[in-house]
Chains A and B, each alone.
Chain A
Amino acid sequence: MKPSISKDKRYTLGAVLFLLILWEIVSRIVGAGILLPRPGETWKELVQIVGSEDFWPAVIGTTTRSLIGFSLTLFTAVLFAVTAGLWKPLYYLFAPLVVITKAAPPISIILLALIWLGTDKAPVLVGFLVIFPIIYTNIVAGVDNVDAKLIEMAAMYRIRRLRRLSEIYLPSIMPYVLAACSTALGLNLRVVIMAEVLSQPPISMGTSLQSARIFLNTAGVFAWTMVAIALAALFDYSVSFLRKKLEAWR
């Protein structure tokens, strides 16, 4: 296994290098930093942004907003999905709501959230509304797939309901929860930043992106985008680390 992994890494590195070179060539052809900044420029801008006073507050602000929204969503989605999975009336009550939030354009959700809430909280609500249906649907499917034979076994051995929930239902849905998390965490970050661009909290990544655009600092837009990508990668890495830990029995 080892050699193939390092081979994979080498290919990935090669692909990244190739894209960087392509970027450099295309930006030279375009010849206008305001349309497509060169990699060097972007790197300089990135260094400057990271060194700036507002960098960490912006990153921390956006991360906090994103994580608070995510945790709230995860908690409510697990609670509602498990209840809906076990008690059908709630499932039918939620079904149209889930369809509506899934189908609504994110921008409508952002605008409504801005009408309802302040600039700080609106992005959290937007994130919630966008990722709730994803996590919820996944977990409902998970509850449907709980092994009925294990439940029957637990009933035979007169295991209490609470323990059936914590020792059979929750571990059974865990893979579904984690799969949903790995999609939803990154999506949530992107949506939160998008909402920040529009709602303009005093200090945030979205606000910084928007001001870079207003000052025609395209390299700045690129640099902030890279910060967002790095953050998303960090989130993704944390989820897969957690997955490995929690699913060691597989």
Chain B
Amino acid sequence: MHKSLQVTNLTKEFNTTQGLNTLKVYEKFSLSIPENKVTCIMGPSGCGKTTLLNLVSGLLKPDAGELKGFDGKTVSYLFQEPRLLPWRTVWQNIDFVIKDIYPKRQREEIVSRYLKMVDLHDFSHYWPGRLSGGMKQRVSIARAFVFPSDMLLMDEPFKGLDLQLKISLLDSFTALWQQDLRTVIFVTHDFDEALYLGDHIYILSGLPANVNKSLAVTIPREERRYGEGKLKEQKEELLAGLCCRQEQPCVLAQAIS
């Protein structure tokens, strides 16, 4: 059995409109995140997916409840935007996160290796402004993996990319992830992405949020084809299952994000 990180009885509220109302995003919410696996969190906009990441990373404090196993864990973060320093080269951007951790020679070796893995070694001296959107996101993926974190949190980093680019980034991700199998929490709206990368998928709904559906993706990674074959079947099954339930629409999306 794999060890897991536990979210138990989590409660989190936000003040909305001049503090007149409170918005309960989580109430007595529990979830288990298996270590060294990719856990996908899905659900409609505004049901607290990003909030969950922020709670897990310690950026937000819960009002009540317990996050077991998360304490002292270091995190890497893949945001929707690459968030690179425009005045630093590709190389320096990656080096940026490990400058205080490793000596120079080791850093050079690490950065070089990861740049090769995301196919950007030839661009190491480019400024981000000279790169395409997909290349920038690859730099940020490399940066996330170079940082020796215990956990990697991903907030829709593949959103809005064209299909071919997305698949190439997903494959870059998988290649890097398989090196050290770190614990990943992956927030996405996209069933295909979740099925392609995930080991486990949670679908949240409602406000306060609850787990609407939880399923394991058992198809071995090497047999997965993006949006095709067995994954497609599983997706259709999943969608059919969801439609049967009366899914509560999420309101006040803005208040959370």
Binding site for B on A (CB under 8 A): 149-150, 152-153, 155-160, 163, 167-168, 171, 174, 248-250
Contact = CB atoms under 8 A, between A and B. Distances in A.
Contact of B76 (A152, A157, A159, A163): A157
Contacts of A155: 59
B85 interface: yes
A249 B97 contact: no
Contacts of B59: 152, 155-156
Nearest to A160: B100
Given A153-B79, A158-B74, A249-B129, A171 B97 contact: no
Interface in B57-93: 57, 59, 74-77, 79, 81, 83, 85-88
Nearest to B126: A249
B99 interface: yes
Given A156-B75, A158-B74, A171-B87, A149 B127 contact: no
Q: In the complex, which range does the number of interface residues on chain B fall in?
A: 20 to 34
Contact of A157 (B87, B88, B97, B129): B97
Given A149-B79, A153-B79, A157-B147, A249 B100 contact: no
> Which DSSP category, helix, strand, loop or mixed, fits chain B's interface?
loop
> Which DSSP category, helix, strand, loop or mixed, fits chain A's interface?
helix
Q: Which 9 A-B pairs have the closest CB atoms?
A: A249-B127, A157-B97, A171-B87, A153-B83, A156-B77, A249-B87, A149-B83, A157-B147, A249-B86
B181 to A, nearest CB: 21
19 contacts: A149-B81, A150-B85, A152-B83, A153-B79, A153-B83, A155-B59, A156-B57, A156-B76, A156-B77, A157-B76, A157-B77, A157-B96, A157-B97, A158-B74, A159-B96, A163-B99, A167-B85, A167-B88, A171-B87
B99 to A, nearest CB: 7
Contacts of B129: 249-250
Interface string B97-109: 1011000000000
B17 to A, nearest CB: 22
A249 B89 CA distance: 8
B100 A163 contact: yes
A171 B85 CA distance: 9
Contacts of B99: 163
